[in-house]
Structure 1
C-alpha cells in the first residue's frame, strides 16, 4: 500500500501490512523565505483516549518533550523537517488515537498565519523507510489559519489506521488545547 490521501480519507496500515509493529510519521513543509520574522512552525503529537482528549500533559510529544508518558511515541529529527516514531505494539490500550498537528509559535513577533507555507506534507512510513501513505495539505487556506491537524493514527478494532484530516484553526495553539483538553486537570 502506497498512496496519496485526500482530506477525510483513511488507510488501513496494519491490516494491509501484516507484521507492521512501528511507524515513522514524517512532517515536512516548504516555506517562503522572509527578510523579516518568519513563521516558526511547531509539530506536535497528541496522544488521546476514547474521548478525544489528551491522556495527560505528559502525552504531548513535541520539541520540548521528546517522549510521551510511556515512550511509545517519540519525537525524532531526521530526514523530514520533523519525525515522530510510534511503536504501535507498545501504545497502551487506553490510547484511541494519536493526533499530528502543526501550530504557529505564538511569539508576538511572528507572522499571524501560515501564509508563508507553500506546501506541507505528512507521511507514514515503516521502520525500514518504506512510505505507506502520504497526505499533501491543500495550501489554499494558509493565509487564514495558524494551526492545522494534519492526520491521525487511530485504532479500529485491533488494527491501526491513518486518517488524513487537514482541519485548520484560526485560534492556533489555543484551539488545539481546547479541542484536545491540553492543560486541563484530570
Structure 2
C-alpha cells in the first residue's frame, strides 16, 4: 500500500523511488443512484503542459480520440463508457524518461461526457480516486481519494505530476470546473 494523500498534498515520486521509469495512473469512480435515463460516461485525459501551464499543440492533449502522445511518453489505455466494475475505470501509462523536456507538468483530468445535455455533474459521482503504480513492479505508490462533494462541476483536474529540480513530484489537486471538457481545454490552451 502506497502513500494516501489529501487534497493539496504534494509528494516526491522519483526521489523516493529511485529508478522509477514507468508509471500507471489509474482513475476510478462510482455513480450514485441516478435515474435520468442516460448512462454516466466519465472520460479521463492528460494534458502535457509547459511552464505557462499550456499545451504547446493539440497533440499534447491525450484522451479517447488521441490515445498516444507523439513522443510515446503518455498513453491512454481506452475509454470505459459505463464505469461498471471494480478497480480502475480508466488508465494512463506514463514513461517518465520519455516525457519531452519542454513539458513541465502532466495534468490528469476527468470530465462527464455530454454533462449538460444529460443533466449530470460530479455531485452524482462517489468513491473517486487516482492512484499511481510502478508499472514495472505493480506496486501502488500513491493514492488520492477525492472525497469532496462537488455539486455543479462537470470537470475535475484530479492531480498532476510535475518536474522539480530534476525529479518528478505528484500533486493532489481535486480542482473542479463548470463547463466540462470545453472549459478544461480552454484552461490548458486548446481552442475548440
TM over 0.5: yes
Per the alignment, residue 158 of structure 2 pairs with 150
Q: Distance in 2 between the 1:106 and 1:135 partners? A: 26
Q: Distance in 2 between the 1:117 and 1:107 partners? A: 12
Question: 1:90-131: CA deviations, max 9, x gaps?
Answer: 111001000000111136542231232112100011012100
Aligned length: 183
Per the alignment, residue 4 of structure 2 pairs with 4
Per the alignment, residue 70 of structure 2 pairs with 69
2:96 to 88, 95, 120: 88
Per the alignment, residue 115 of structure 1 pairs with 123
Per the alignment, residue 39 of structure 1 pairs with 40
Per the alignment, residue 59 of structure 2 pairs with 58
Q: Distance in 2 between the 1:57 and 1:183 partners? A: 8
Unpaired segments ≥5 residues, structure 1: none
Unpaired segments ≥5 residues, structure 2: 81-86
Scaled by the length of structure 1, the TM-score of the pair is 0.91
Question: 1:30-83: CA deviations, max 9, x gaps?
Answer: 113544113321110001111100121111111111101211100114961111
Q: Distance in 2 between the 1:93 and 1:129 partners? A: 26
Structure 1 145/108 Cα, relative in aligned 2: closer, same or farther at 3 Å? closer
Per the alignment, residue 170 of structure 1 pairs with 178
Q: Distance in 1 between the 2:41 and 2:152 partners? A: 16
User: Is the contact made by 1:119 and 1:139 (CA closer than 8 Å) also made in structure 2?
Assistant: no
User: Is the contact made by 1:48 and 1:98 (CA closer than 8 Å) also made in structure 2?
Assistant: yes
Structure 1 segments (4+ residues) deviating >6 Å: none
What is the CA RMSD across the aligned residues, in angstroms?
A: 1.8
Q: Distance in 2 between the 1:38 and 1:115 partners? A: 15
